[in-house]
Structure 1
């Protein structure tokens, strides 16, 4: 049995600049961290032949091309395993529409597990590149590069996306005290609204590419990502909430979101004492991250609803594979 565990991520700054529509013309930059919530893919030999896939449902097919789940089907066709398999995918959060990079983690864990089945251990860059190829090209999804890259590498990092299609990663080495203080200030809230990230990102790609579209606002997000990387390395986190608030404002303009239950939740969080926050992922739903002074955290959680607050911690690990 092979188990591949790929972490989810919380993206802080630079979202949208990892889309080809943006970085094909000017470099992108994202600052994000992986967290201790993850997706696991489990592979087991199957005695009865064919492929059995367990995700939100169960499907059995004689050959990989008969699998309906596009990520599983295309990962299997890309890797072409020679043995019948049981493929089970488990997530610590709901399987889609979370804003936490779930789909990227699913594909990354699949690629890592299938490589391990062949006795191969992919390095993080190769793992991210293969997972991105499957999701973006083979599955035709209008997503960016950050989710697979973060899930493969792990940790609090800066990712730079070059116009030539290359990605470079830099670990954000914060002072320990500032790192702990930042983590203690973050509250993750489930909006209880799902959405299709591919649809949202397809819309965002079109607005970036359109003359007079959102490129200038994404460029400002890139500038913020680079500046906040330097602030975090220096251990200066006092401006973190205000910077996220500016990023929230810019993202709302990019997405054209000015009135919705998500906007209402954000404004409610600000009234409760949050200094800033952001909607994670492509927009429209998923999870919202707030920066809350530690002394106001208990009251904030109680008012928002403890059932909606998702406990998490930063994680330094990227995708890991073990054989059981």
Structure 2
């Protein structure tokens, strides 16, 4: 049995420049961090007592004999890619899916890590990131960037640079006191809305050439933000820069925000937040605000209808937290039976 623990991420600057259609031509960069909210993937071989060969539990339960009949695209394609058979997989998470925190990519990274562990093989963080990108963007043909898979795999507070020939991950060099101060001044609220980031990403990709001016400016803000973090600059400038990059991002497509999100954002600013942004591709999920500590109660009061989620930065990325080896021999012939049992609904 293998259990992996993979963090979620929050992206501060440069989102959208991690799309291949942009960084292949202009280069790209993001500043992001992982934090102490995780998804857990438990994988073992399914005992041969049942009339199905694979059991998959996420927000629904799938029981199938043929891998081709698995409805969850990432699980199906990952099992085919790594030649996995007779699997029992369970997914759990601290935060909901489709909420702008890279949850699907964290799941992809954690699942691949668990599959390699079950095979008794070691996969380093770059291999896991690369293969999670390949799984989601090529095998599953989902639109989007590549920062989430990298952040979830490597973990930490990083600047990630993208080029046509690859990417680099560099930790932001920031003092412990300043990093703690930043963490203390960030507030996270769940709006209750959710959406499929891939749908918004498709729209963003289709308008990318028309919005290259905004994206180039968003890219330049990565350098500005890194300078604020690594110098003696007033940390409140980080909050002001968040506000500016959010306004730029809203101009890329009208699907990124809506009236409800805009009203919530305005209320937080009026209550004392210096800046903030909606995390992820847009359309709903989590709002992040930079708020000085003496004004945080007023912002909480203004956001009283939303769930406040305290968090701490984390540095570990994906990890195996339980490992028990198994003796497993694949059946000589797996019965291909199209019958399957599916319970519940929605995505993981």
SS in 2 for 1:25: helix
Instruction: Verify: 1:279 aligned to 2:278, yes or no.
Output: yes
* Higher mean C-alpha displacement, 41-50 vs 219-228: 41-50
1:135 corresponds to: 136
Q: CA deviation at 1:244?
A: 0.3
Q: What do residues 264-295 of structure 1 show as CA deviations (whole Å, max 9, x unaligned)? A: 11111101100000010001111110001111
SS in 1 for 2:313: coil
Instruction: Verify: 1:93 aligned to 2:91, yes or no.
Output: no
User: Please, which runs of 5 or more residues in structure 1 have no aligned partner?
Assistant: none
Tell me the distance in 2 between the aligned counterparts of 1:258 and 1:167.
Answer: 29
Q: 1:77 to 1:259 in 2, by over 3 A?
A: closer
1:205 corresponds to: 205
SS in 1 for 2:47: coil
Higher share in helix: 1
Tell me the distance in 1 between the aligned counterparts of 2:318 and 2:76.
Answer: 21
Q: CA deviation at 1:227?
A: 2.0
SS in 1 for 2:252: helix
CA RMSD of aligned residues (A): 1.3
2:343 corresponds to: none
1:58 corresponds to: 61
TM-score of the superposed pair, with normalisation by structure 2: 0.89
The match for 1:78 among 69, 76, 81 is 81
Q: What do residues 32-57 of structure 1 show as CA deviations (whole Å, max 9, x unaligned)? A: 00000011110022113511000001
1:252 corresponds to: 250
2:24 corresponds to: 24
The match for 1:240 among 238, 241, 245 is 238
Tell me the distance in 1 between the aligned counterparts of 2:238 and 2:248.
Answer: 15
The match for 2:70 among 67, 71, 74 is 67
Equivalent residues of 1:11, 1:30 under 8 A apart: yes
User: Please, which runs of 5 or more residues in structure 2 have no aligned partner?
Assistant: 325-348
Q: CA deviation at 1:191?
A: 1.2
Q: 1:294 to 1:60 in 2, by over 3 A?
A: same
Q: 1:275 to 1:200 in 2, by over 3 A?
A: same
Residues 105-120 of structure 1 aligned to structure 2 (within 5 Å): 105-120=106-121
Equivalent residues of 2:258, 2:283 under 8 A apart: no
Q: How many residues align?
A: 318
Q: What do residues 58-91 of structure 1 show as CA deviations (whole Å, max 9, x unaligned)? A: 0101122211011111111111124x11100111
